[in-house]
A and B are shown apart, each in its own frame.
Chain A
Amino acid sequence: MSTRDDEYDYLFKVVLIGDSGVGKSNLLSRFTRNEFNLESKSTIGVEFATRSIQVDGKTIKAQIWDTAGQERYRAITAAYYRGAVGALLVYDIAKHLTYENVERWLRELRDHADQNIVIMLVGNKSDLRHLRAVLTDEAKAFAERNGLSFIETSALDSTNVDNAFQNILTEIYRIVSQKQIRDPPEGDTIRPQNVEPIDVKPTVNSDSVRKQCCQ
């Protein structure tokens, strides 16, 4: 299935990162396929899926990359940060260590991703109320201090999953569309890849190539 002739105005690449077992793959499957799999396997290497949403009447296609959480594989997975305009940094609200490691992941992004990448801190597994080990306010304060947006989600019962993606994609869209007003692309085409602070190819699909409603 090719994605080239899909109907969209913007294509944003977003990476899911965070410790192993925090629920990255299930956040992805909940958002893109509305599925949650208790028997899901650990991710080896990277996988990705897409879903389109509407913001301000524009169709935004999110290409979400799910990566292996174990530190050992970062040499490989970091190669996939290239071109990402957003990152969901996920921890497990019931496992404090996964929250403590958030700083390491932020360093990882600083080292390997675009400096202007939009980052959202995501406390997943909010359904595990009785096992909560990370306080919402603590994580929220941390996110504020570090200039990240913040949300708690549950891929299992769907709480806030759509909101999390919707929020980060909207935030990226605002930045990109403002940037376009400030700094209109020359001739709308042939923009060198990966040199813009935010690497988004604006309005890549002209109306003439749009298919009849497919989303």
Chain B
Amino acid sequence: MQKTLSMYKQFLRQLHCYIIIIFQGVTPSLRRSVWKYLLNYYSWESTQKERDQVAKEKKEEYYRMKTQWMTMTKIQEDNFSDYRERKSLIEKDVNRTDRTYTFYAGDNNPHIQLLNDILMTYVMYNFDLGYVQGMSDLLSPILYLLQDEVDTFWCFVGFMEKVISNFDVDQAGMKEQLQHLHTLVAFIEPELSTYLDNHDSGNMFFCFRWLLVWFKRELSQEDVMKLWEVLWAGLPCPNFHLLICVAILETEKRALMDNNYGFTEILKHINELSLKLDVNFLLNKAEGIYRQIEESAHANDNVREILGLPKIENGNLDSPNTASFTYLDTTADHASVNIDTNEVSYERGISNSYL
């Protein structure tokens, strides 16, 4: 029984991956259904009856939470500054979320109200996180597609679970990703990585927006939906979004280096790529980079671990200390000496910046 279930699950996953990856232009109605699985609203192995039950329970739960904030009295609000702050920030942000799209355009747009209500309910769902800027960007395409308040909320919850560390109070999740990105760039494009280090940009801060909202500000609504599906599916590997970054940087390498861009010009150049990127090209290129790393004999374990690849079997790589030691050891060719130095200066850069 267990085996049948797991085979069925496998089959479903493959089917969906197939739909997403091969037929990239899935129809909106198919997409509406696929997203609910990708965002863990429904489990892959559920039956229709179970899904109906989940939908019913989730609906009740949603409205219970919504009522909590909707029935808050003025005195309660006056005595609850954290709540007030979140409420005010949400109001400010929904009113400047994707207003250029017809779906969210114009005065008194009901969809803006829905964005507001869903984010307010999320505050009640996860008060510790509350609302952080960027979250309205993550929500907007989901509501645009699903056009149902409750479904959108729970799919948004699923999305937030995947990226919640982006919104850490101390930004630890973002710092780690920026560091991982640097490691990947140092491996794939050591020349570029050295260049960035030497031009005050080794901290990769100029990629912050890409990572925080998964390219939402860089791509059109349609393209970002396509990209997110691939990333949600975890295909072809975890942290594939970092390889999308590498793909862009590889494409822009000559522009950055030949123009001898410094700290400010790099940031400006990267910011100005917004809405000029081709998502299909990037997906293909990033997948190519993944294959290259997967098959590379000298991809060190730091790189492999980021992408969920098994560590290289040579006996003593299990402890973190040996792993990082080996990382330096196994990269003793010309390019990798740079990696070593870069890592040191990068570490220094990061800690300086945060002092």
Contacts and interface: CB of A to CB of B under 8 A. Distances in A.
A4 to B, nearest CB: 8
A202 interface: no
Interface in B243-287: 259, 261, 264-265, 267-268, 271
Nearest to A95: B88
Interface string A86-118: 000000000001000000000000000000000
A190 interface: no
* A interface majority secondary structure: loop
Interface stretch (B94-102, B152-160, B188-196, B295-303): B94-102
B205 interface: yes
A70 B213 contact: no
Contacts of B354: 75, 79
Interface residues of A, number: 27
A79 B96 contact: no
Contacts of B203: 79
Given A39-B99, A75-B170, A75-B354, A48 B208 contact: no
* B interface majority secondary structure: helix
B264 A45 contact: no
A68 interface: yes
Contact of A39 (B100, B205, B259): B100
Given A70-B132, A70-B133, A79-B353, A44 B167 contact: no
Contact of B268 (A48, A73, A79): A48
Interface string A46-85: 1110000000000000010000111011011011100000
Contacts, number: 76
Interface in A1-35: 2-4, 20-21
Contacts of B171: 72-73, 75-76
B92 A48 contact: no
B174 interface: yes
A45 B132 contact: no
B343 interface: no
B132 A76 contact: no
Nearest to A71: B169
A63 B89 contact: no
Interface string B128-168: 00001110110000000000000000000000000000010
B209 interface: yes
B217 interface: yes
Contacts of A46: 267
B307 to A, nearest CB: 25
Contact of B92 (A3, A4, A21): A21
14 contacts: A2-B261, A2-B265, A20-B89, A41-B96, A41-B98, A41-B137, A44-B134, A44-B137, A63-B264, A73-B133, A75-B354, A78-B353, A79-B205, A97-B88
Interface of A: 2-4, 20-21, 38-42, 44-48, 63, 68-70, 72-73, 75-76, 78-80, 97
Give the 7 A-B CB pairs with smallest separation, nearest first: A21-B92, A39-B99, A45-B208, A79-B353, A44-B209, A70-B133, A45-B209
